[in-house]
Amino acid sequence: MVSILVLLAVAAGAAPAPAPTSKTERPKLIVLDLAPGGGVDPSIATAMTEAVTQEVADRGFFQVLSSKEVQTLIGFERQKQIAGCSDETNCLTELGGALGARFVMGGSVTKLGDAYQLSLQTLDSQRAQPVGRSTRLATDIRALRQAVPFLVAEATGTPLPPPPSRVLPYSLVGGGALALIAGGLVGVNAIAQEDAVNRELARGTLGQGSIIEPLSTYQQESRAIAVKKTLSLVIGAAGAGLIAAGVYLNPTDGPRPGGGVAVRLTPTGDGIALVGVFP
């Protein structure tokens, strides 16, 4: 025995034994496969399971065991025994105890009409009590995937992630609104100049006054006015494009359901209007 210890000491060298890392101190959490429901393709449930597992691991509060790792670590016969449990809570408690994991996370992905619902719940296997539950509805899988960080935080009772930055989309919307205003001012100015030139030309034609400038001058002014009108339309179109880009890039996920900017261009009697709600 002494010789074995000596050999181990020589193999380890003079370096001191590593101190326990925070990883070894973190509790274990098992992420089970999400159950598909409501006609959801199993591949979607698999992809969402991987997304949830990765999110739990990235947050760093737990040592994560995926469902595949569970299948590797636990024997086939043991799996059959646990799968035969009649009560879900007891099954999860037994599974967590078999692998030395205090927490077990499960859930489902369900299709409700045209929407998708992701539900997660975490169980404390030592106390046989739920830690947290979370549910989100989304119009598509992409939006549901964006909500995963908040679902995981709520289901595990850990701090919510910081909300996504909205500086860029808000800046685009604000810049687009300013561009629309600028384009409108240029257009109004062009229309006013055109009206003044037309009135002066009309007075001279009707003999009510003399034309002060040569006709070529008025033709040059008309061309300049046409350029201003075109510029007004270009600036307005650029502003509308910036607003559309800002609305598209604005994140819709957040700690509050329905978060995000709800803005749209609405036709009015005099043109179009920008309407919506900023959270």
Is there a single domain that holds both residue 151 and residue 32? Answer: yes
Domain count, the chain: 2
Instruction: Over range 67-82, report the average pLDDT.
Output: 63
Instruction: Over range 131-148, report the average pLDDT.
Output: 90
Is there a single domain that holds both residue 221 and residue 112? Answer: no
Instruction: Over range 83-100, report the average pLDDT.
Output: 60
Lowest mean pLDDT among 79-88, 164-173, 176-185, 221-230: 79-88
Is there a single domain that holds both residue 131 and residue 254? Answer: no
Domain range holding 30?
21-156
- pLDDT over 70 (residue 118): yes
Instruction: Over range 249-271, report the average pLDDT.
Output: 51
Domain assignment present for residue 10? The answer is: no
Per-residue pLDDT band at 163 (split at 50, 70, 90): confident
Is there a single domain that holds both residue 71 and residue 151? Answer: yes
- % pLDDT > 70, the chain: 66
The CATH number of the domain holding residue 124 is 3.40.50.10070
C-alpha–C-alpha distance, residues 44 and 100, integer Å: 29
Domain boundary among 156, 176, 208: 156
pTM check: above 0.85: no
Is there a single domain that holds both residue 149 and residue 175? Answer: no
Whether 160 and 206 have beta carbons less than 8 Å apart is answered as no
- Closest to 221 measured CA to CA, from 202, 204, 198: 198
- pLDDT over 80 (residue 96): no
Is there a single domain that holds both residue 41 and residue 125? Answer: yes
Lowest mean pLDDT among 115-124, 188-197, 254-263: 254-263
Domain boundary among 129, 156, 183: 156
- pLDDT digits 0-9 by tens, 187-215: 899 888 888 878 777 766 555 555 566 76
Is there a single domain that holds both residue 134 and residue 186? Answer: no
Count of alpha carbons within 13 angstroms of residue 128, beta-carbon side: 7
C-alpha–C-alpha distance, residues 160 and 7, integer Å: 49
Is there a single domain that holds both residue 82 and residue 180? Answer: no
Domain assignment present for residue 234? The answer is: yes
